[in-house]
């Protein structure tokens, strides 16, 4: 369900439990349990609806559908789906949080270089989108990404 | 190109079409809005170019997160009401009554350095928070706020009645809030209430509120039409 669209991704299944550091150069989809640290640099991490992660995670994009206890550092985009339970701090350029997601922590949306004013460009520069609940908000998210 | 534009516009139309076809969905999405004089009073502060540190104590609100980050502020989100329903917090007092352990609660929640925040949004939290937590939590707010920092809280008046629903407030404009009825969620930390909903614990009158915030330097009241008293206090 909602696995990454690209063919090249690693998958950690429901019954898998990993303790330690994970790093890689392909997208990662987690449905199992991970405790430690996840670093994907230029790739994306998706924590599936059954995934339970207790780790600081970093990557180009981070999507949370399950449980995450730890900080998120997403160089491009972080997304909390409505089923997400996330406890920790988020540092990212663009952020989408669906209605119903549980989040406890700090949010630091970093301004993109070359964009002088955040307030001038609404969601486009700060990148925060109230995704679910209304289609309008969702489309703002898409529009802000220039897709 | 036409099909791309059509798909794009479909995104914008999506919710209204769905709402038209499915009245239940429309009811679920629609949220009443209200004017907030307290928020309007804060708008100058919020629109300043200086980045602020804001603590939002309602359940996670994408609208609020968007509002503050768009203005370049840092936001901390913490659903204190849900946290207060954690069964692990329940203890017996000397008389054998079940009470919430305020020391444990404060050891696990609102753990931030002193004087960190420019603004605390506690919405209607004091009305629904367990009695044993109200004063200690307000004391912690004082510590967390910077000198001159502000706190916005809502209190029901007696006319609201004991069944006044608990709302989550979403900021949708400089003086406008959308209200979303909230209930304890069984799939989240903490139990649902006996009736599966948050209940108004008490009604504060003006004197109670002044006493509650007596350590703060100033307090302003705004009486709204919906039997809610908005209170803006300055540390």
Q: Residues B189-231: pLDDT tens digits?
A: 443 344 467 888 888 999 999 999 999 999 999 988 888 999 9
* Res A130 pLDDT > 70: no
pLDDT computed for residue B118 by the predictor:
95
A87 and chain B: CB distance < 8 Å anywhere?
no
Domain carrying residue B12: 1-30
B26 shares its domain with B36: no
Instruction: Select the more confidently predicted residue: B81 or A110.
Output: B81
Q: Are residues B89 and B54 in the same domain?
A: yes
- Specify whether B19 is located in the same domain as B43: no
> Closest-CA residue in chain A for B183?
A100
Q: With an 8 Å Cβ cutoff, are B188 and A137 in contact?
A: no
Which of A96, A110, A139 should be substituted to probe chain B, the one whose Cβ sees the most B Cβ atoms within 10 Å? A139
Q: Quote the crossing angle between the two packed helices B2-21 and A135-144, to the nearest 10°.
A: 160
Q: Residue A79: its pLDDT value, please?
A: 95
Q: How far is CA A79 from the centre of its chain?
A: 4
Domain identity same for B126 and B150: yes
Q: Same domain for B6 and B66?
A: no
User: Which H/E stretch holds residue A93?
Assistant: strand A90-97
Taking the complete model, does pTM exceed 0.90, yes or no? no
Total domains present in chain B: 2
Q: What pLDDT shows up at residue B12?
A: 39
Contacts of residue A3, Cβ cutoff 8 Å, sequence gap at least 6: A9, A11, A29, A46, A48
CA distance A59 to A71: 11
Q: Inform me whether the C-beta atom of residue B215 falls under 8 Å from chain A C-beta atoms.
A: no
How buried is B33 (Cβ within 10 angstroms: 0-12 exposed, 13-18 middle, 19+ buried)?
Answer: middle
Name the token pair of B190: 């903490």
pLDDT of residue A5: 54
B69 vs B27, higher pLDDT:
B69
Position B2 confidence tier, pLDDT thresholds 50, 70, 90: very low
Strand partners, A64: A47, A80
Looking at the structure, tell me whether residues B43 and B118 fall in a common domain.
Answer: yes
Cα–Cα nearest to B46, from B166, B200, B175, B164: B175
| Least reliable range by pLDDT among A135-144, B96-105, B212-221 | A135-144
Query: What is the DSSP pairing of strand B33-35 with strand B53-56?
Result: unpaired
Nearest beta carbon to residue A106 from set B8, B63, B76: B76
- Please compute the mean of the pLDDT values over residues B98-104 and round it to a whole number: 91
């Amino acid at each position: 369900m909602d696995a990454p669209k690209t063919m090249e991704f690693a998958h950690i299944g429901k019954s898998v439990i990993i303790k330690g550091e994970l790093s890689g150069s392909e997208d990662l989809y987690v449905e199992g349990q991970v405790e430690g640290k996840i670093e994907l640099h230029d790739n994306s991490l998706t924590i599936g609806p059954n995934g339970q992660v207790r780790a600081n995670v970093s990557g180009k994009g981070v999507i949370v559908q399950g449980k995450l206890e730890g900080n998120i550092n997403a160089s491009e985009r972080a997304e909390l789906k409505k089923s997400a339970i996330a406890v920790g701090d988020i540092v990212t350029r663009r952020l989408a949080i669906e209605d119903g997601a549980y989040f406890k922590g700090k949010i630091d949306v970093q301004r993109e270089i070359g964009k002088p004013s955040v307030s001038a460009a609404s969601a486009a520069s700060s990148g925060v989108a109230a995704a679910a609940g209304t289609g309008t908000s969702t489309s703002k998210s898409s529009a802000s990404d220039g897709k | 190109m036409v099909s791309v534009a059509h798909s794009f516009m479909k995104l914008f139309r999506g919710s209204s079409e769905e709402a038209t076809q499915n009245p239940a969905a429309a009811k679920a999405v629609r949220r009443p809005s209200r004017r907030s004089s307290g928020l309007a009073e804060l708008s100058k502060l919020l629109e300043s170019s200086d980045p602020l540190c804001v603590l939002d104590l309602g359940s996670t609100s994408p609208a609020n997160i968007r509002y503050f980050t768009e203005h370049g502020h840092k936001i901390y989100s913490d659903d204190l009401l849900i946290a207060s329903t954690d069964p692990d917090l329940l203890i017996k007092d000397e008389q054998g009554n079940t009470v919430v352990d305020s020391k444990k609660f404060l050891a696990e929640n609102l753990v931030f350095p002193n004087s960190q925040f420019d603004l605390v949004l506690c919405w209607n939290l004091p009305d629904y928070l367990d009695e044993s937590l109200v004063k200690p939590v307000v004391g912690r707010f004082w510590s967390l706020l910077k000198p001159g920092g502000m706190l916005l809280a809502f209190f029901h008046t007696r006319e609201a009645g004991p069944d006044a629903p608990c709302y989550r407030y979403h900021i949708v404009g400089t003086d406008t809030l959308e209200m979303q009825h909230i209930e304890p969620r069984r799939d989240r930390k903490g139990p649902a209430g006996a009736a599966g909903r948050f209940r108004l614990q008490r009604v504060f009158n003006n004197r109670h509120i002044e006493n509650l915030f007596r350590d703060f330097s100033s307090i302003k009241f705004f009486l709204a039409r919906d039997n809610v008293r908005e209170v803006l206090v300055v540390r």
